[in-house]
Amino acid sequence: MKSMLAMFLSMLMVSLANGGIGIGTTGGIKNAVNKLDGKVEDNKKQALDTLAPTVPTNLTATAAGSRQINLSWTASTDNGGVTNYKIYRDGSITPVATPTGTTYSDTGRTPSTTYSYTVCACDAAGNCSAPSASASATTPAADIIAPTVPTNLTATPVSYNQINLSWTASTDNVGVTSYRVYRNAGATPVATPTGTTYNDTGRTASTAYSYTVSACDADGNCSAQSASVSTTTPRQPGTYSVFSDNMDTFPTGWTLNNVGGVTPANQWKLWTCGGCTDGHTAFAGENHTVPNTYDRSAERDISLAGYSSASLSFDSTFCLSGVSLRVEEFVGGAWSPILTLANECWGVDSWRPRYTVAVSATATKIRFRLLGVATDNGQAFVDNVALAGTVN
Ligand SMILES: [Ca+2]
Ligand SMILES: [Ca+2]
Ligand SMILES: [Ca+2]
């Protein structure tokens, strides 16, 4: 009550200084008293909790390098709940920290020094337990020796937007505490994992990345960066064009193989038919004597690296009795057919339905091949050849 009276007098003095007591001031005094009543009520509520939390137990102190000591303890209990702890170092009057959890890292210590700690638990009403039993630890001498350089760094794309790294652990005179992962020769590490792996997520598809890793100890000594490794993320899942050729400038990109000894000018040529909207590519020449043994092909190198499957599509028509048109792929050092079309004389202006045939993702070449003994003087055509690769 003495405190209330003092506050009341103080407010009255302020009121007088501002122009004397008036009707309005009476209302102000009433409000002030109401507020004081409320504060008293709050104090009464808090005063109801007079029970302090239990004393924290199992306090341990462990040096983590020459300048840090880690503390942990068993949680206290309280009738209303523990709100925080108070950490005391070497008998300090004021706490050095008031963590809410049951661990604390006391950094900035001095090497080769012993520190002792106690911890007490407090509740919302300000009741604090007695201090725990003390625990002490001695920081080791300053470490000036850096860990060894990490070795065997590997970078493996596991999806179009993630690269997983791993390396062989470094050693240190005291202990390796973390690694620093650098991407694309950046000045700042992108991660500081404690283990010997790191999954670099959020990367961009079809993009090259390089990495280095260094090892650090608790005193901040870090090794030189490891040898750099590079890798490229795959494409996003989907189907992509590997090449698409309207054959109008045939044989650009293709290698022609002719067996059978026909007149070169008539072996392969660009054939533009009257009434066609697109130039046909002639695979077989005219004006040869019959019967004529055919084994001729148009092949090209392909690269399906990064694709899980591929398909080749093309238009064709031919009228060449006794000869078949084969599509072949080169896998594992050998050619093998993936489609064989028998002669069907659809006519120069009558195209077959477009063909689509699967190509092995390990194929390094494809070719169109005419094989057989021609018994007439016709032609064969292939046009609009497209190879598509699919990424799963
Ligand atoms: Ca309490
Ligand atoms: Ca060291
Ligand atoms: Ca064409």
365 part of a folded domain? yes
pLDDT band at residue 33 using 50, 70 and 90 as cut-offs: very low
**What's the confidence (pLDDT) of residue 105?**
97
Mean predicted confidence (pLDDT) in 2-30: 42
The mean pLDDT value for 102-128 works out to 97
Q: Which range marks the domain in which residue 370 is found? A: 240-391
Q: Check whether residue 244 and residue 364 sit in a common domain.
A: yes
Chain-centre distance for alpha carbon 205: 10
Give me the pLDDT at residue 202, please: 97
357 and 299 in a single domain? The answer is: yes
pLDDT on residue 174: 87
Tell me, what CATH number does 123's domain have? Answer: 2.60.40.10
Average pLDDT along the chain: 84
Please state, in angstroms and as integers, the Cα–Cα distance from residue 351 to each residue in 29, 315, 316, following that order. 102, 7, 6
* Cα(334) to centroid(ligand 3), Å: 29
Write the CATH number for 371: 2.60.120.200
Cα 53 to middle of ligand 1, angstroms: 6
| pTM of the full structure | 0.55
Q: Are residues 227 and 285 in the same domain?
A: no
Question: Do 332 and 358 sit in the same domain of this protein?
Answer: yes
CA-angle at 258, arms to 255 and 263, nearest 5°? 120
274 and 203 in a common domain? no
Please tell me whether residues 304 and 244 are part of one structural domain: yes
Share of the chain above pLDDT 90, in %: 59
297 shares a domain with 387: yes
Residue 348: inside a domain, yes or no?
Answer: yes
Q: What is the whole-number distance in angstroms between the Cα of residue 216 and the centre of ligand 2? A: 8
Q: Is residue 281 part of a domain?
A: yes
Does a structural domain hold residue 293?
A: yes
Q: What is the pLDDT of residues 210-249, one digit of tens each?
A: 999 999 998 899 999 999 999 999 889 999 999 999 887 7
**Would you say residue 164 has pLDDT above 90?**
yes
* Same domain (yes/no): 385, 264: yes
Task: Quote the pLDDT of residue 28.
Answer: 45
- Ranked by mean pLDDT, which of 37-51, 57-71, 343-357 comes out on top? 57-71
Ligand 1 centroid to residue 81 C-alpha, Å = 6
Confirm whether 110 is domain-assigned. yes
Give the residue from 191, 214, 232 where a domain finishes.
Answer: 232
380 CA to centre of ligand 3 in angstroms: 13
Same-domain check for residues 192 and 323: no
Alpha carbons 68 and 62: distance in angstroms, whole number: 9
Domain ends where: 179, 204, 232?
Answer: 232
172-211 pLDDT, tens digit per residue, is: 998 999 999 999 999 999 999 999 999 999 999 999 999 9
Using the mean position of ligand 2's atoms as its centre, give its distance from the Cα of residue 143 in Å: 5
More reliable by pLDDT, 370 or 60: 60
Q: Does one domain contain both 377 and 312? A: yes
* Within a domain: 267: yes
> From ligand 2's centre to the CA of 156, what distance in Å?
30
- Give residue 14's pLDDT band: very low, low, confident or very high (50, 70, 90): very low
* pLDDT score for 317: 77
Question: Residues 333-342: pLDDT tens digits?
Answer: 999 999 998 8
Whether residue 347 sits in one domain with residue 249:
yes
**pLDDT given for residue 200 in this prediction:** 98
Find the 23 Cα to ligand 2 centroid distance in Å: 77
Domain-embedded: residue 202: yes
Number of domains in the chain: 3
Q: Which ligand is nearest to the CA of 316?
A: 3
Binned at pLDDT 50, 70 and 90, residue 298 comes out as confident
Instruction: Please say if the pLDDT value at position 20 is more than 50.
Output: no
Is residue 307 situated within a structural domain?
Answer: yes
Rg (C-alpha) for the chain, rounded Å, is 42
> Which of 138, 163, 184 is the endpoint of a domain?
138
| Ligand 2 (single-atom ion) residues, CB below 5 Å | 143, 145, 172-174, 217, 221
The phi and psi torsions of 222 (rounded to 5 degrees) equal -120, 145
When pLDDT is cut at 50, 70 and 90, the band that residue 21 belongs to is very low
Residue 29 in this model has a pLDDT that exceeds 50:
no
116 C-alpha vs ligand 3 centroid, how far in Å? 86
Which tops the pLDDT comparison, 315 or 28?
315
Residue of higher predicted confidence among 272 and 112: 112
Query: How far is ligand 1, taken at its centre, from the CA of residue 134, in Å?
Result: 23
Mean pLDDT of 369-387: 84
Q: Residues for the chain: how many in total?
A: 392
Least confidently predicted of 26-40, 87-101, 286-300: 26-40
Ligand 2 centroid – CA 185 distance (Å)? 24
pLDDT at 349 over 60: no
3-state secondary structure string, the chain?
CHHHHHHHHHHHHHHHHCCCCCHHHHHHHHHHHHHHHHHHHHHHHHHHCCCCCCCCEEEEEEECCCCEEEEEEECCCCCCCEEEEEEEECCCCCCCECCCCCEEEEECCCCCCEEEEEEEEEECCCCECCCCCCEEEECCCCCCCCCCCCEEEEEEEEECCEEEEEEECCCCCCCEEEEEEEECCCCCCCECCCCCEEEEECCCCCCEEEEEEEEEECCCCECCCCCCEEEECCCCCEEEEEEEECCCCCCCCCEEEEECCCCHHHCCEEECCCCCCCCEEECCCCCCCCCEEEEEEEEEECCCCCCCEEEEEEEEEEECCCEEEEEEEEECCEEEEEEEECCEECCCCCCCCCEEEEECCCCCEEEEEEEEEECCCCEEEEEEEEEEEEEC
Tell me, yes or no, whether 130 and 247 share the same domain: no
Between 11-15, 189-193, 257-261, 310-314, the lowest mean confidence (pLDDT) is in 11-15
**How much of the chain exceeds pLDDT 70, in percent?**
78
